[in-house]
Structure formats: structure tokens, C-alpha cells
Structure 1
Amino acid sequence: MDNTFWELVIFVGRLLFVFLFIGSAIGHLTQTDAMAGYAESRGVTAPPPKLAVQISGIAFLAAGVSILLGIWGDIGSLGLAVLLVITAVMMHAFWKETDPMAKQMEMVAFNKDIALAGAALFLWVYFHFDLVPWTITGPLFDAY
């Protein structure tokens, strides 16, 4: 198989990876009030829940587009990893739950966010060393 096949596989992987974040961003920006209510129920008070939802929606969208199109994908993927860890801790604190079912649901969501943060870190390394094909720009920061 030639390199074009593997480049296509990498691009499809990027597309599948960012599908979640772009979709989530759309939800954050179109259903802000409902999501702000959920954020408030999880204890988000600063910044105000509605603003937090809007900021995270924009951040998910920016990171998703950055990774998908390869526009400074190093910064997009690193920012996404940081955002996912923050989201996991703030929104899915399973250790605070007393109801077994709620605890299990939050643990699954926490683990998902942490695993996705790990995948974003992998992408950060690949973007940082300019190993990702089909990008609009190279990395923002020089790896050497």
C-alpha cells in the first residue's frame, strides 16, 4: 500500500475523533440554557454556568476545527487535552456521588474524558513533530 492510503486513514481518524467535539460544541452553543442548568447542578459557579458553557462550546469548536483541518493542530490538540481533564474533574466528580447508579454514570463519563485527553495528547505529539499529513499549517511551535 502506498502512503496515500495511510494518509487517508489518519485523516479519517482525525475526522472521527473531532466528530464528538464539534457536535458537542454545537450543543453547547445552541442549547446553552439547558447545559448551563446541568453545569450549575454539578457545582459550576465561576465563571457563571451560562458563560462557562459558551466558553467551553467555543473551545471545543476551535479545537475540533484545528485538529480536523490541521490549523496549528498542536495547539488545538493540547488545548483539547487540558479542557478534557478540567471537564472530567469539574463535571464528572464520581467520588462525590452517593447514589450507586449516579456514581457509575459519572465514573464512565470521567473515564471517557480522561481517555480522550490521552488521545488528544497523542495527537499533540504527532502535530508538534509535524507528522500529520494533509494539514493547512504546520505546528505553531517549532519542535526543534
Structure 2
Amino acid sequence: MDEIFLIGRILFAYLFIGSGIGHLTQTAAMAGYAESRGVSNSKLMVQISGVAMILGAVSIVFGIWGDIGALGLAILLVITAVMMHAFWKETDPTNKMMEMVQFNKDIALAGGALAIFFVLGSDFAPYTISNPLISWY
């Protein structure tokens, strides 16, 4: 079962590594979208979020303070859901539906990150390089 949890961590992190690389290689386009959503210093925020995604994902995969990496991703996801996918502000039904899907995706991923945070914060976390920074036991 330990191997299954490791595979799950890798699959979970895959999304954030790809997204983080996208934030860093397509900063201008993403900054334009972020600016349209009211994010100030959008270019810098896109770059910071890209680095945070990559660091959080690598932390989870290798178990290098994976508890903190998972908690960081959960926080980032909730902030992103509220700031970038505020479906309740949309008037166009199609845009409202698309933003609701993205909002729900981010909230669900935050839940997954919190579950990973819990397991990686225990003394029973398999295949990790470091001990957790926030330990439950």
C-alpha cells in the first residue's frame, strides 16, 4: 500500500509541476488573465505562484517536508479559487459555469492536498526523505 500512496503523490504533483512550468514560461499571458481578475502585480504573482507550485509538488513527491509543501498548495489553491474563479461575479451563464468548474476543481484539489498534508505529517508516511515539520504524533 505504501507504493500506492507514492504513486498517488506523483500523480497529484504532476499537475502542479506542469502548471508551475506554465506559469514561468507563459508569464505574460497568465499575468494578463490575472490582471483581468483584479490581481495587482500580476506578473510577479504569476511567477511566485509558479515557483510555489513547483516547490510544493517536488516537496510532496520526494517527501522533503512534504507536509509543508501540501499545506502550502492547499492554501494557494483556496486563494486561487476565490480570487481567480469567482463564479458568483459572472453574469454570462457560460462564463459562470466555466468559472464554477474551475473553482470547484481548485477546492477539490485543496482537499486532496490537505489529505496528503495529514498523511505526510504522521510518523507513518512512507517513502519520504525528511521527517515532517508539523508532526501529529
TM-score by length of structure 1 reads 0.92
Match of 1:57 among 19, 44, 50: 50
1:110 maps to 2:87:
no
Query: Using the alignment, how far apart are the partners of 1:74 and 1:83 within structure 2?
Result: 14
Query: Using the alignment, how far apart are the partners of 1:8 and 1:139 within structure 2?
Result: 19
Query: Using the alignment, how far apart are the partners of 2:25 and 2:50 within structure 1?
Result: 9
Q: Once superposed, which parts of structure 1, at least 4 consecutive aligned residues long, lie more than 3 Å away?
A: none
Q: 1:71-121: CA deviations, max 9, x gaps?
A: 001100111100000000000000000000000000000000000001111
Please state how far the C-alpha of 1:130 moved relative to its aligned partner. 2.8
Please state how far the C-alpha of 1:42 moved relative to its aligned partner. 1.1
Q: Could you tell me which runs of 5 or more consecutive residues in structure 1 were left unpaired when the two chains were aligned.
A: 1-5
* Structure of greater Rg: 1
Greater shift after overlay, 134-143 or 96-105?
134-143
SS of the residue aligned with 2:18?
A: helix
Identity %: 66
Please state how far the C-alpha of 1:132 moved relative to its aligned partner. 2.0
1:127-138 pair list within 5 angstroms: 127-138=120-131
Match of 1:30 among 8, 19, 25: 25
Letter in 2 for 1:63: G
CA contact (8 A) 2:121 2:136 kept: yes
Please state how far the C-alpha of 1:131 moved relative to its aligned partner. 2.4
CA contact (8 A) 2:123 2:135 kept: no
Count residues in correspondence: 137
Query: Using the alignment, how far apart are the partners of 1:127 and 1:60 within structure 2?
Result: 17
Match of 1:119 among 112, 116, 125: 112
TM-score by length of structure 2 reads 0.97
Please state how far the C-alpha of 1:43 moved relative to its aligned partner. 1.2
1:12 maps to 2:7:
yes
Query: Using the alignment, how far apart are the partners of 2:21 and 2:74 within structure 1?
Result: 19
Q: Could you tell me which runs of 5 or more consecutive residues in structure 2 were left unpaired when the two chains were aligned.
A: none
SS of the residue aligned with 1:133?
A: coil
SS of the residue aligned with 2:103?
A: helix
1:15-94 pair list within 5 angstroms: 15-45=10-40, 48-94=41-87
